[in-house]
Each structure stands twice: as structure tokens, then as C-alpha cells.
Structure 1
Amino acid sequence: MPGGPKGEDFGKSTLVKAKKRELYHDKQVQGTNDYSIVSKRSVEKFYTSKLNPECHEWFKHVVAEDRRRSPSINRGYWIRMESIRRFVDNIIESRDFSDQKISIINLGCGYDTLPFQLLGFYKKQGNGINLEFIDIDYPDLLKKKLQLVKSSEEMMSLIGDDNMVLNQDNNFDIYLFSSNNYKLVACDLKNEKLYEQMLNNLGAATIKIFISEVSLAYMKPEHADSIISCSSKIPNSHFLILEQILPCGRFHFFAQKMLYHFAHLGSPLNCVETYPSKEHQIDRFKQFYSNAEVRDLFEIWNELVDLQTKKKVKEVEDFDEWEEFIVFCQHYTLLHANNRGKSFYNINTPEMPEIESIDRAIKIKTIASNDNHLKKKFSSACFVDNELLLFGGAFQTRVNDLVSISVNEQRNTRLIHVEGSIPRARMAHTLTEIDDKSCILIGGRSSPSVYLKDSYIFRNNEWLRLPDMKEGRRRHSCVKVNSSQFLIFGGLKDDHGAGASAFIMYDSFKNDFIDMDIQGSIPNLSSCGMYYDGISNIGYICGGMSNDIDPQVSDALYTFEVLDGNVIKIEITYKHAQFRRIGPNISLLSDGRLLIVGGVSPLKLLNQFNTVVTYNIKSKVFEEVEVTSEVWKDSPPLFIGFSMAKTPHSVICVGGGAVCYSFGSAYSSTYEISYTDKQHWQKSMYFK
């Protein structure tokens, strides 16, 4: 019977299992601290030491291993840490009077050393700012942190001796350490009553800054919101929460990697699907605070990080992962809430206008996936002899192999055995069809700072070396103008020589590269979309970026003509936020519309409906091309560092990939984009 011994045993067993699951989850959440602090130590050693030496190095006291992370991870953690630090500084600067006490409460602090950075910094400033830090986390984790802190004379000299007095009535038993400016509070944040009791010990006159850096994210929403609610009741309080969002849902390639990563670790993100967007986060906090403002981390990069700091960041290490950095930043937000109407973000931010109609005549389907030969980013492809050739790119390292993809139903892939002057491994180059039997390879890069100037022809399974360009180029574009001429644009270094032309022409008759004179104006763009229509003698350029320090992404559609005498005539025909993409590929339909595929927008994460769009050149109207739910869920397009080439009635998108922050790499499937009316494909189509 339910009330008998067996029922009681079953109930006890269920409770025991639930308790074990909870303990396991708590342990896994604590484990996320281990990876995070190694990454933060990497940032501290290579970034903070150069950008903010006055903040000193503190993670070295609490991190056992000293490991340099990749540039993508370093810059991602740097913007996380910098965003929080700048906001805390802004709140401190906005205090009501100079000696007003400020309590900074770090919820789920882990081994973070923000208290020591700020205490050390403001002590050196000598301006008498009255700071108190309260680090809160699981008891077991904080006991280990306390041991590490006590073993460092440098840390102890900053926070002073423990002056804690045990007092059960005042609940001081949860304080593992208490000095005048630093306290360690052992509190499981799911214990709302204990948390409230701790808050009651805070002085009423102080400014309180609550910080949650990806800590409440692991809690169930109702528990996390209880913490926010309790904190909001404290007078003169600010809440800073850095948390993941899902701006394009759980099936976006980055979101899939992120969610799997945390779930696989046994510490799933429990709040992100309840509050998946900036708007949801605002609504969440306005339940408790009268004022809330939020930005994603790339908006913070643009708004709060000044140009001088960006220049210093650029000098720390070679970096050519802007697309990966932007997509990561668009999945993380920093929200600031308070009850006093204080705001620190700019009121107006650039927006991407919504597109009102869908082009239902264009279809996108997956034609190949999970082929290791095609798992490459920033390779380049073109058709030769009815085979799609894919050269170079990067998987775990840069490669120089040549892969053939058949155009039959099977889409078989094979490595081609090649001879001759085989090009070195590279990425961000161009491969362009010459004729049915040959293609031309131009430029690219090895490491981010090494731009290649060499070029080759591939014919009959043999590579032949061509003359070098005057300047190396990477992330450039190349289109076929006619059977003997190939136009190359952009991809020069920012500090390229004064004599270097943004446009050059390779002439196979002269076997040389020729500088082009430019009528009009266009910046030296990298990773733009470029197309040339040999029938009308009109070319198109859209998107792309200039300035490696602080990318300026073009929102212009340029048209150009190739004139006699090595002259390019170019002009802007339209500006729109939809053109503002890094790394799109473009094509022209015979009805005068541009097909714009992929890339990364600095304004907004591209989604299931606007990753691919069409643009009517005459009416200046955009239409979305929907990626079906089946494709979006099973193999979401990853149109970063990909190539596009044509069949008679469609285009093939091949290659592409990205490092998804610390969650691992993702690679794109191969897709076919086709039009229901086959006549709409322009007969003269050439792709970079």
C-alpha cells in the first residue's frame, strides 16, 4: 500500500536519488570554474599585463597550470572580463559622495580575483575609495579558495587578517573569512533564506553591486529569479549579469555547440531557454528593478571599448578570427539593472531593419555532411571539368590538399594526387575557374600576419607557378572578366604600400599582374562578396570589412565596370544594413536580383530567414530566403569561410567552419541553393 513500509522505502529512495543528482549537478557546476580560471589566467598573462599592468597579476596565485589559450578564446574571455570591470568602474565613479562605501558581491565567484585587481588598483590610485568585496559560492569550493589565498603573502597583505567573530545569532558561521575589505561567504545560492540572512548584514548606506558572471545561468529559472528578487530589495543596489542567450534559437550552429558543451559537462544552462534574448532578459529584470539595460558583448566592444584600447588589444597577438569573435559575442549579454535610473549604455544602437517578404522560389537543401575532406574553413572552390575542386583551408591546421567533389547524385569526394610546384598550405585565398580544364589560385595567408603574394595555375593534375603579386593579399576576391583576364580586389594589409592598388588584373597573355586605375572611391575591403557579369560588363561588390583593429563593415552595394586602359569605374548604388556582412558570397539572377549568401553581421546574428536574402537592384527591395526547419535543425548553415560555385541551375556552397569559443569547432555541410525556375540563373556566373 502507498502508506505502508514499501511506499515509505520508495519515497526515501526517490529522495536519496534526487539528492544525489543535486549533489552531482552542484559538483559539475563547480567544475566549470577550473576551465574558466585557466582561460582568465591566459588573458591576465598576455592581455592584462600589457593593457592594464596596474591591475597586476592575481590569477597566478590560484591557477595551478599556466596554459596559453587560442586567440579566439583569449579575446572572448578578455571582452567578458573587460565588460564587467568597466561597468564596475562606471558605477564606482557615479557614487553619491567620494567616501561612500561600495560593496561588491560576486555571486558564484569561483576563484575569480576581481577583488584583488580592484583593491590593488584603487590602493595605488590613493583616492581613498572605500571598497568591500563579498565572494559567495559553494562551501567546498570556497574552502579551497581560502587555502590558496592564505598561501599567498601578496594576497593576504592586500586584504588583511581575518577578524571574524563567530556569532550564530548574526549568522556569521557562513563567513569563512572576514576582514575589513574582503569576505568569503559559503552559501549555496539555492538556499534563498540563507542568502537573505547574509544580505541583512549589509550596511544600509552602501552602494551594492551584485555580479553574476555565468553563475545563475546553471540554476533553475525560479531559483535564479529568487536571488535577483532578494537582491533588488536592497537599497541602492546594482545588478550586473553576464549570461548566455539564444538570439536565433537552440539550433543555430553556435547555440548547438554551446548547449551541448555545458550539458555534456553535467552543468546544463537552465535559464537560457527561458530567457533566450536581450528582450527576455530586460523583461525578466524589470519584474524586480525599475531600470534595466542590456547589450551583447559585441555591442559593448563597439560602445565601451575605446580605440586606443583596441589598438593595444591588436598588438597582443595575431588575430584573424573576427567572424568567430562576433558570433560568440552575439550569444553573450551583459545586463545592468538598478532602481535609481542610472544608465551607462548609449541610448541608440544601430539596428538591422526587418525584411517584410520571403522569396519562396529559392530553395536550400543539404547535399552532403560529415565528410572529413570538406571540414575546412577559408578554403576556396570552383568547377573544373565537371568536378568541384576545393583547395586548402584550415581544419586543425592549414592544409594544401586538393579535393574533388563529383556533381552526380552521390557527391563523392576524393583527394587528388597532384604534381608540379605544389602551393604551400594556406587559407583565405581564391580559386577561380579559367576554363573546363584549369583554374587559378591567388594569394591567401599562412599565419594571420603573413599575407601571401604567390599564384598558380592548376591544369591536368599539375600545379604551375605564376608570377607573384606586388603585395600579399588574403580575404580578397577574384572574378573572371574574360577568358584571359581575372580581376582581384581588396585583401591588402592596412599598412600596405602607397603604390598598391585595391584592384589588380591578372592577364594570362602577358602572364603578369597589372595595377588598375580607379575612377571613383572604395576602401580596401577584405572578405567582401564580389560578382562579375560578363554579358553586361557590370560587376558588384557588397559587404566586407576594412581596418583590422576595429572592423568597419561596409553597408554599401558597389557597381563597377572594366574600361579600356586598365581602368575600373566604380560607384555606390545603394546602402543598407543587409549588405553589412563579413564574408558573404553573391550571385546574380537573370531577372536582375542579387543572391546574397551568408557572412556575419556586426549588427545582429543572422538567422534562419536572413542568412540568405535576395536584393532587387531595380526596386531596391530585399526578400528573405527561408532555410527550412528540417535543414535548420539537422544541419544549420555555417556560412563562414565558405565558398560558392555554380552548376547550370543552382549554386553549391561548400566548406566553412568556425571555432565556437571554448565549446569546440563546427563545420558546415554542403548545400545546394536552387531556383524553381531554372531560367533565373544568369548564364555568365563566376565566383571567387
Structure 2
Amino acid sequence: MLKYVVPKPSRRSPVINRAYYQRTESIRKIVEGWIEQCEQLGVAECTIISLGCGFDPTYFRLATLRKNTQSATKLRYVDIDYPTLITERLYMVRNEDTLFDLLPDNASVDDVGSFVSDTYSCLGIDLRDLRQLESGLESAQVKKNGGRIPILVISEVVLAYLAPDESDALLQFFAGYSEATFILHEQCIPTFDEQDEDQNLHPFALTMFRHFERTMTPLKTLREYRSLYDQLDRFERLGWSKCDILNMNLVSDEIVLQSPEEHQRICSLEPFDEYDEQFWIGAYYFIAIATTGPKAEASTTPSQSPNVLRALGLLSKIQTWNSSNNLPEGSFASLSKTTSEPSAIPSQPIEWTAHNPIAGLEINRKGHTLSIMGDEAFIFGGFGLDPNDAVEDQRVFQQRSQQTRLGSMIQYNLVTGSSRTHPREEDGPAPRMHHSAATTLNGSAIYIYGGRDGPTKVHNDVWRYTAEGGWDPLWRARISQESDASCPKGLFKHTANMMTIAGRQMMVVFGGRVASGEANFQVFAFDLQEGQWGEFKWRSEQDKQKFGGVFSHSAVVTQDANHQECLLVVGGIRMSNEQVLNTVCQITLGVETEELPRYWVEAQALDIRASTGEPLKPRFGHSAVAVDSDRIWILGGVSSPGLLQWHETMVEIQPRRATFETLKPSCFRELVMVGHATALDARRQRIVGTGGGGTCFGFGAWWDASAWGIHIQAMIM
């Protein structure tokens, strides 16, 4: 039916396509599940009311489906929007034969601006006029005193544009129907900083607010009802006895992408890599399912009350969520849930450096690398703004078209504060983002590998950079699936770390994605002495499937319980189901030298918890720095299904003690730290971070434009 209401589809970004798919598919499943419940209950008739319907084709899709089915339940469908839009909608329907043939023949009203019949009505009504609304619904045979007929009301991003008192009045109006279910899909503002909730908003929220205010369509209700809990209180106060609210990340996991087949189908449609934006969108939008039926699930439940949660297979899951605190704050809310305070995870105060370690230098880029050799910091590549472009302010930029992949190198002296930008050289590496950089153990050279320059263009090359000699191409290969299996086939969003294995210095590459978008399960190492790649084979296929196939994770070199070097891999996204991970695994590599060297890799999961028993929060797009052999700092990232809050931004993991603690920053609260880069400045005993940022739909981008530093010794142990 979509082709009739959207005659000329416009090309949109993949993340917009996914967001609309999740929205339309979730509403479709909820509507069909509600109808299915009505039929199973033997309901004689039921009614669906779509508020702010626009050109939504749901009625015509349902009419087509029900033409070929035998149902004892009569369905009445009512579309409502502004009179001008309804006039346009009816004009379109009457001029498209396929849609016109689906209109009922028994219309009591059939004019330019309205259509009323026994099974379908299209009404031009201002939703702020409740008298007109009630009169229009009565003309469509939807009456408050018309018996216990189940009613489903759908509102997709409609109430947000009304003033709070106007939208409240509308919700209270429909609460007057004895067997009503209300589906509300709107924006929310999950808490980013619990200590400064009003002022320290996440940049995604700031960008969204700014966009709607500029387009003269402000989100009026959102200022009043920000969180899921605000919405929950709102429904209860306005007369709804039951309400369950899920953010769209949960909706996607539990309703939309339940089957592996559907997940694989979506992944195969087009290249996709905007996971940070996708999960932010999922945290900032929600679906509420409210009913006017009784609160308790018991035998007293009227037979005329369809339970859409049961139809969706969510009833038992929600009961489990209600009895536990397993879901992150802000991703789920329910009137059935017993409110309890989440256990507080101990935190250690830390102090930032007294000054910006890279003062006066704006680093408007993300997906870059930061390396430190002695007193010099080197920032290479990434995706960001041309430094010559005019910008609006330090944090939010409207011109998304100005962003590009960068091939320049910024060199900064950490002692004198002097800096210079080396433009891309013709015989140097091509522009790229999400590549890796690893510094040799003696700090004399930086090795750059991989990265991408476009949706499907992935680099498969190794470059060495020294302060004295500049760039030196060490290894290049065409990306081919038929190439030597011991060599990578071009990777991005992987990690690379320098390690000593069997007495040889190697750059170990773990995880990442290949040009097709599939995950990399192999573990490669570039031998610095030989200038060649080799593959470390998994000792077990089970380990390969369990620990491989991740990207946007972090990896640092540390020591295991036997004081042997190993990789500590934290978080990331598992490609097979696109789930954000909270895992910590220890990757060990070795060589067996009998007749021929045999290179092997094995892994084990570490159960890392806070002293309260809380697990790590899932995250990706973060960075990690090994402060010492048993102190790993995790900085920034994106979480799911809930938002990564400010006080959870920095974490110290102690692998041998199997514990972690949050690090409580003292300032720089506006930093988000996603797509940023960090490095250990050992000479000055601090961690230095640069860049990072994100986007909010096509509304604009924001950047952590300044660099920052944290004194390691300033921690209170």
C-alpha cells in the first residue's frame, strides 16, 4: 500500500530508514496483535482510531488482508487529522483505483472533506476541540456509552506538538472509554546527568530541540514530560489504570527483530554503520501501551479487554522486568513495577588536568587516532570538518555536508604547546576513519592499518610513521575474498595493539568489519621485523564464535594471572545480532614450535562486577587505556537499551580482582566521548583524549572539539 501514498520515494540515510522501519513495523505488530486478541476473545466488534493519520495506509492494508480471511469480529477504523490534510487524503484515495475500491459502499457521508461509513471513517478534526472530536466519533458510531466495545487509539508523534494541557485533555478524553487501549509513540529525554538533569542535557537532545525550534515546530509536551517515568505518572493521573513503556531499543529487540532471519534480511538491504546514532535514537523514542482495564492480571479481567502484550509475547517478560532491576534506568517503565532505588556503584573522585593539554586547538573530528611518541602527540585521519569551514559554535553544527573523511595529521608538542597540521601527502595514506594506530614498544614509530573511506571502500594497507622520516608504506593489498587467508582483507572498527609474542614484536589486529559489512572472526598479527602478516588460529571453534565477530570494542595489552601478556577486550557490538556487549574477555596468543611454528589464540570470559554485584553496562565506541598491569580505564561510549549516563562515562576495571568502579569526573561535564581517541602520556602521568562527536538524524552534528587530560596520580585510591 505504501507505493500509493508515496509515489516518489526519496533516498534517505540508512539510519533514517532503520528508524522508520522500527517505528512502522512495531506499530503494525501491535495493531495486528490487538486485532488478533479481539478475535480470540470472540469480540463482536472493535474500533481503531488513528490520531494525526496523515497519509498512513494502515486501513487499506488491513482491508486488503481481511478481504481474504474469515473473521467474526467486525473492525471499524477511523482516521483523524486536520481538515486540510483529510481533504488531501480523500482526494488521493478517490484518484487511485486500488485505494478507492477498498472504501466501503455504505457511506453516510461522502464529501470533499469527510467520509463516514459503518466500517471506515475519515474525519477532519482539530484534536484540541474535544466537543468536535466527540461529535465526529459519534457520527462514526464510536460512543462512550455505546457498550463495552474495545477501542485502540494510535498516536504517532502527534501529542508532542500540542501544548501539555491540550494533550493531557486528549488523553483524559479517551480514558473515558471503558475498554480503551492507547498506543503512544513519541520522543523522551532520558536522564544524562542525574545531578544536573535540567541543564546538562545530552547533545542529541540539544540538537533535536534546536532543530524543531528552528523549523517553528517546537516539541511543546516534551518539555513537560521528559522521561518515561514522567509519561507513566501522566497516564496514571489522567485515568489509565495500566501502562507499560519501552524505549525503541527495547521495542526493536523484543518486537521488531525477534527472528534471526528478519535481522539478517535488514542487515543485507544496504550498508550500515551508524550504530551510535541508531542506539541514541532508540533511547530517545518510546512506545507506551496504556489501557483502561483493571490493573491486575486475574480472573476478574473483563473478557472484552484485549491484552496486546500477550499477543506480542511480552507479558511474561514485562512481569520479569517488573520484579527485577535488570534493565538500565530509562529504558522501561510500568505502573505494575514496584519502585526501588537502584544500588549505587561506588565511585572514585578524579581530577582533570588544570589546563587543556592541547590548548587552543579545535579537533572537530571523530573516528581518528591519537598516538604519543615522547613529547609529541599525533592525531591522524577521522571524519570531521575542514578546519577552514566556518562553524556555528563549539558543540553543534548544522552543515552536515561540510563533514568529510580526513587524511591530515596534527602534530602537537605536549611541552611547548606548539602545533602544526601536516596536510595529506600524495604519497601518504588516503583519507580514512575507524582505522587503527599502534605505537612501537620503544616509542619510535606509529603503525597505521585499515579504516574506511566511504560506505563500502575499506583500506587494506599498513603505514609506518616516524617524526623524522614521515610516512613509509610497508604493506598494501587489494581487497579480495580469494586472497591469502593469513592476511586481513581490509578492516575498520577493529583494534590493533603492539605485543611481544615468542620474542618478536607484532601488531595484533582483533575484531572489526570487512568491506561487505560482515564481522571479522580471524586474529591477525603484523610482524614488524618481517613486514608480513600471519594468522593466529583459534584453538576451538566455540571460542571463535563466542569471542570473535565483534567491532567497535576496545582492547589493551595487560597481564594475566601468570603475568603473561594478553589482550583485554571490552564491550563492542556482536555482528550476528547487533547486540551491544558488556563482556570482558582475556585473549591469549602463543606460538608452538615443533617442526613448524603453530600460532594459536584462545580466550576466556571474565565476570567483572562492582562491589555491589552490578555488572558492567554495555557499551561500544569507547576507548580504553592500561594505566598499569591491573588497572584499565574505560572512557565514554554508547550503551543500549538505555542511555550511558554521565556518571557511568568512565570506569576502572581491575581484571585480577574481577571488579570495577566508576570514576567520578569533576568538570568537563559536556563531553560525550564517542568516536574519540585516547592515549597514555606516561611522561606527565596523565591520559589525554581528543575529539569525538555524533549526529542527530539530519538535524546536525556535534563535536567534543577540545582535548582534555586526566591526572592518573590525582585519583583517590
| TM-score for both structures, normalised by structure 1 | 0.80
When residues 587 and 109 of structure 1 are mapped into structure 2, their CA distance, relative to the original with a 3 A threshold, is same
Aligned length: 612
Instruction: Say if 2:604 is the partner of 1:571.
Output: yes
Instruction: Say if 2:56 is the partner of 1:112.
Output: yes
Instruction: Say if 2:278 is the partner of 1:260.
Output: no
Any residues of structure 2 matched to 1:234-633 within 5 Å, and which?
234-249=177-192, 251-287=201-237, 288-305=239-256, 306-307=258-259, 308-340=261-293, 342=307, 344=309, 345=314, 346-347=317-318, 348-349=320-321, 350-352=326-328, 354-363=343-352, 367=356, 374-384=363-373, 386-395=375-384, 396=401, 398-408=404-414, 414-419=420-425, 421-434=427-440, 436-459=443-466, 460-468=469-477, 469-482=487-500, 484-493=505-514, 502-518=522-538, 521=543, 522-533=547-558, 537-548=565-576, 550-565=577-592, 566-575=599-608, 577-578=615-616, 580-590=618-628, 592-628=630-666, 631-632=668-669
Higher helix share: 1
Which of 57, 67, 71 lines up with 2:3 in the alignment?
Answer: 57
SS of residue matched to 2:349: coil
How many angstroms does 1:225 deviate by?
1.2
Structure 2 CA distance for aligned equivalents of residues 429 and 95 of structure 1: 54
When residues 68 and 161 of structure 1 are mapped into structure 2, their CA distance, relative to the original with a 3 A threshold, is farther
Instruction: Say if 2:690 is the partner of 1:666.
Output: no
How many angstroms does 1:495 deviate by?
9.2
Name the aligned partner's letter for residue 555 of structure 2: M
SS of residue matched to 1:510: coil
Any residues of structure 2 matched to 1:130-279 within 5 Å, and which?
130-160=74-104, 163-165=107-109, 176-200=114-138, 201-203=141-143, 204=146, 206-249=149-192, 251-279=201-229
Structure 2 CA distance for aligned equivalents of residues 58 and 359 of structure 1: 59
Contact 1:518 1:569 in 2 (8 A): yes
Instruction: Say if 2:23 is the partner of 1:102.
Output: no
Indicate the larger mover: 240-249 or 576-585. Answer: 576-585
How many angstroms does 1:646 deviate by?
2.3
Name the aligned partner's letter for residue 377 of structure 1: K
When residues 410 and 301 of structure 1 are mapped into structure 2, their CA distance, relative to the original with a 3 A threshold, is farther
Contact 2:688 2:708 in 1 (8 A): yes
SS of residue matched to 1:532: strand
Name the aligned partner's letter for residue 523 of structure 1: G
When residues 370 and 130 of structure 1 are mapped into structure 2, their CA distance, relative to the original with a 3 A threshold, is farther
Which structure 1 residue ranges, 5 or more long, are not aligned? Answer: 1-54, 167-172, 682-688
Contact 2:2 2:57 in 1 (8 A): no
Counterpart in the other structure of 1:12: none
Counterpart in the other structure of 2:34: 91
When residues 367 and 109 of structure 1 are mapped into structure 2, their CA distance, relative to the original with a 3 A threshold, is farther
Contact 2:463 2:472 in 1 (8 A): yes
How many angstroms does 1:618 deviate by?
4.7
Contact 1:174 1:185 in 2 (8 A): no
- Deviation digits for residues 387-432 of structure 1, max 9, x if unmatched? 3323222335652412315245896764313546433333221022
Counterpart in the other structure of 2:395: none
Name the aligned partner's letter for residue 491 of structure 2: R
Name the aligned partner's letter for residue 653 of structure 1: G
Counterpart in the other structure of 1:122: 66
Structure 1 CA distance for aligned equivalents of residues 79 and 629 of structure 2: 63
How many angstroms does 1:238 deviate by?
0.8
- Deviation digits for residues 506-529 of structure 1, max 9, x if unmatched? 111111112124457322321111
Indicate the larger mover: 483-492 or 252-261. Answer: 483-492
Structure 2 CA distance for aligned equivalents of residues 455 and 554 of structure 1: 29
Structure 2 CA distance for aligned equivalents of residues 156 and 134 of structure 1: 16
Counterpart in the other structure of 2:23: 80
How many angstroms does 1:325 deviate by?
0.6
How many angstroms does 1:298 deviate by?
0.8
Contact 1:419 1:461 in 2 (8 A): no
Which structure 2 residue ranges, 5 or more long, are not aligned? Answer: 193-197, 298-306, 329-341, 385-400, 478-486, 593-598, 610-614
When residues 631 and 240 of structure 1 are mapped into structure 2, their CA distance, relative to the original with a 3 A threshold, is same
Indicate the larger mover: 223-232 or 129-138. Answer: 129-138
How many angstroms does 1:496 deviate by?
10
Structure 1 CA distance for aligned equivalents of residues 17 and 36 of structure 2: 28
Contact 2:558 2:629 in 1 (8 A): no
Structure 1 CA distance for aligned equivalents of residues 2 and 9 of structure 2: 16
How many angstroms does 1:572 deviate by?
1.9
| TM-score for both structures, normalised by structure 2 | 0.77
Indicate the larger mover: 141-150 or 365-374. Answer: 365-374
Superposed CA RMSD: 3.4
How many angstroms does 1:196 deviate by?
3.2
- Deviation digits for residues 114-166 of structure 1, max 9, x if unmatched? 22233233335565763332222222333333333333232222124683449
Counterpart in the other structure of 1:29: none
SS of residue matched to 2:78: strand
SS of residue matched to 1:631: coil
Structure 2 CA distance for aligned equivalents of residues 335 and 497 of structure 1: 34
SS of residue matched to 2:32: helix
The percent of aligned pairs where both chains have the same amino acid is 22
- Deviation digits for residues 27-70 of structure 1, max 9, x if unmatched? xxxxxxxxxxxxxxxxxxxxxxxxxxxx5533225xxx531110
Name the aligned partner's letter for residue 548 of structure 2: P
Name the aligned partner's letter for residue 438 of structure 2: T
Contact 2:411 2:421 in 1 (8 A): no
- Deviation digits for residues 334-367 of structure 1, max 9, x if unmatched? 0001123625133235424754222112448994
Contact 1:543 1:553 in 2 (8 A): yes
Indicate the larger mover: 637-646 or 321-330. Answer: 637-646
SS of residue matched to 2:87: helix
Name the aligned partner's letter for residue 153 of structure 1: D
Indicate the larger mover: 181-190 or 516-525. Answer: 516-525
